[in-house]
Amino acid sequence: MDQSRVTIVAEIGVNHGGSLALAGEMITVAAQAGADWVKFQFFDAARLAGGTSRYDMLKPLELPYETMAGLQMLAHVHRVEFFATPFDEEALARLVKLGVPAIKVASSDLTNLPFLRAVAATGFPVILSTGMADFDAIERALAHLGRDDVTLLHCTSSYPTAMEDVNLLAMVSMLERYAGNVGLSDHSLGIWVPIAARALGALVIEKHLTLSRKMVGPDH
């Protein structure tokens, strides 16, 4: 990460609702809003949540892995970087082949040590969200990643996050403990928490993007 400026990540995530056309529109809107990077989530719903109550929610939100290259090309047309959160090793391998600027690891995979080792083996910079983690879990994840180029994102796993639950001092503590790059995966409403996070040393701000809060889906 560039130490001299903050990187703004527009988290498109699954807010495209499984529509490639809408995903492309959201890249365009993110670029117009001034985002530096756009981020998606790539998963196979059957592999990720087959046999669970989450499957029916996740299945319509899939984008085929084959669409990654086209989305990356569109992002580059708009002069923003494309990257994604992979939830399995096939998605990870495809992102590596595309040459994304970093691999994003979701909070839910912070304790998935075999997957962290696979991420580490790519040699790519890592952005790691820390929602629901304590310091022991973070240290264990960092040990398995075994890399210096890890950016830790403070994350409160509630949607939206109430102001009394933001706790930016946790981000400051990570900066003091690990002397690495830190940032914020922000689920609060408005712009004030990201501004405060930047003042406290955040180099990455990740914020969910939607075209309308009336759209159907879990993250609008």
pLDDT tens-digit series, residues 53-88: 899 999 999 999 999 999 999 999 999 999 999 999
pLDDT at 2: 63
pLDDT tens-digit series, residues 123-133: 999 999 999 99
| Residue 104 pLDDT class (50, 70, 90 cuts) | very high
Tell which residue, 197, 130, 203, 198, has the closest CA to residue 169.
197
Q: Is residue 195's pLDDT more than 90?
A: yes
d(CA 10, CA 190): 14
Whose tokens are 């990201």? That residue is 194
**Alpha-carbon distance values, 60 to 45, 92, 103, 109, 218 (Å):** 9, 21, 24, 22, 12
Pairing of strands 81-86, 204-208: unpaired
What percent of the chain clears pLDDT 70, i.e. is strictly above it? 99
| Residue 179 pLDDT class (50, 70, 90 cuts) | confident
**Alpha-carbon distance values, 147 to 40, 85, 103, 125, 215 (Å):** 23, 18, 13, 8, 39
pLDDT at 139: 96
**Alpha-carbon distance values, 69 to 120, 130, 164, 176 (Å):** 22, 28, 40, 38
pLDDT at 31: 98
pLDDT tens-digit series, residues 148-160: 899 999 999 999 9
Per-residue pLDDT averaged across 155-175, rounded? 96
pLDDT at 1: 63
Radius of gyration, alpha carbons of the chain: 16
Residues in the chain: 220
- Spatial contact of 159 and 219, defined as CB atoms under 8 Å apart: yes
